[in-house]
Structure 1
Amino acid sequence: MDHVFIHRLETYCIVGVNPWEREVQQKVCLDIVMDCSTREAAADDDMAKAVDYRAVAKAVLDLVTNSRFYLVEALAEAVAKLILEVQPRVQAVTVTVSKPGAVRFAQEVGVRIRREREKPQ
């Protein structure tokens, strides 16, 4: 399986459980790795046969900047679900959501999840 990725997509959103986190947008960084075959797109040099990472980035930014999750886990889950819904070529996705500076003495903290497309029964 090949991978199409978006590294360190940065935006701001409401995320967190503390009262102040419910009022102030915080920086979040996303790493997205989409498992898919790139063979057909590469063989024909055809964008219509590729995963459109620009469209993915735009959809993810729209979702995240307008979200109000308490947990980064919920944010990551929503991003993974969105990608699997809008990109039929993606068979699985790994989403990492990190909050820089959220914990003293740590550069960043966060969560990484992997979700696979449900197989037809």
Structure 2
Amino acid sequence: MDWIHLKKLRVECIVGIYRKELKKPQPLILDVKLGIDLSVAGRSGKISTTCDYERVAHEIRLLLRFRRYRLLEVAAEEIAAMLLGIHQNVQSVWLRIEKPQALPTLTKCAAVEISRTRENFPIETEESVFGHVDILLETADAGLYLLHIDKGKSIPLHYHRVMRELEWRVGGQILRNGKRIKKMAPKAWKKLQQHNYENTGKQTAILFCCDVPAFIPEDEILVDPPKSPKKNG
């Protein structure tokens, strides 16, 4: 197995069970190893045949900054599920998360360390009006999903009263609220914010989505399109 390493990635994150820990973000230090066959990239020189570690670093930062964790264990599990879900050529994830401010008078840091493979995250798939949804992981606090939007389909304009939502583009040509999005284009949706997506490309488009709490079907509230004025006569 070949490996891609990210060492000492620093992210500010809300994490902890004590009231003082929930008031402001504190630093986490991450070491990440991605198990992947690098032989094709080593011969072709094409980034599409490997895993873009800059993108991986951004994905980890986005998820940790959006979420509010009680336990490092949950953060580690979600990161592993997210990376294995988004990056199909990655076969395993090893990561260590250090929390330097956990026990400042007793030790240098507290940390968790996990190793996960695809077998740890069997993906459930659900059909949808726009295509299908891969359920990467649902924890007690959140859900991680890949939204596959078929060619010519769209996610209707909607909002949420309960869920907070983080989304970014994984691939494909997508309009968000009528505007084309490029690169990852991450967006954290607050409650009641209306949004929709349209696939304008020739291939399936993919979005990553994190819902807090995990997806609630009844909280996917569609916005009725404006009615055309009636013509006299």
Task: Give TM class, smaller chain.
Answer: over 0.9
Query: What is the Cα deviation at residue 44 of structure 1?
Result: 0.9
Q: Which has the higher strand share?
A: 2
Distance in 2 (alpha carbons) for counterparts of 1:37 and 1:8: 23
8 Å contact 2:26–2:101 — kept in the other structure?
A: no
| Structure 2 letter corresponding to 1:49 | T
> Which string of whole-angstrom CA distances, capped at 9 and with x for unpartnered residues, describes residues 28-62 of structure 1?
01111000110000011111111111111111100
Q: Which residue is 1:49 aligned to?
A: 49
> Which string of whole-angstrom CA distances, capped at 9 and with x for unpartnered residues, describes residues 57-92 of structure 1?
111100011110100000111111110011111100
Superposition misfits of 4+ residues, deviation over 3 angstroms: none
Query: What is the Cα deviation at residue 111 of structure 1?
Result: 0.1
Query: What is the Cα deviation at residue 27 of structure 1?
Result: 0.5
Query: What is the Cα deviation at residue 105 of structure 1?
Result: 3.2
The structure showing larger relative contact order (alpha-carbon pairs under 8 Å, at least 6 residues apart) is 1
Q: Which residue is 2:17 aligned to?
A: 17
Distance in 2 (alpha carbons) for counterparts of 1:36 and 1:48: 13
| Alignment of structure 1 residues 83-98 onto 2, 5 Å | 83-98=83-98
Q: Which residue is 1:116 aligned to?
A: 117
Aligned residues between the structures: 120
RMSD: 1.4
Q: Which has the higher helix share?
A: 1
Q: Which runs of 5+ in 1 are unaligned?
A: none
Equivalent residue of 1:81, what SS? helix
| Structure 1 letter corresponding to 2:37 | S
Query: What is the Cα deviation at residue 118 of structure 1?
Result: 2.3
Query: What is the Cα deviation at residue 8 of structure 1?
Result: 0.7
Q: Which runs of 5+ in 2 are unaligned?
A: 123-233
| Alignment of structure 1 residues 16-95 onto 2, 5 Å | 16-95=16-95
Identity of aligned residues (%): 30
| Structure 1 letter corresponding to 2:110 | V
Larger radius of gyration: 2
Given the two structures, how large is their TM-score scaled by the length of structure 1? 0.94
Given the two structures, how large is their TM-score scaled by the length of structure 2? 0.50
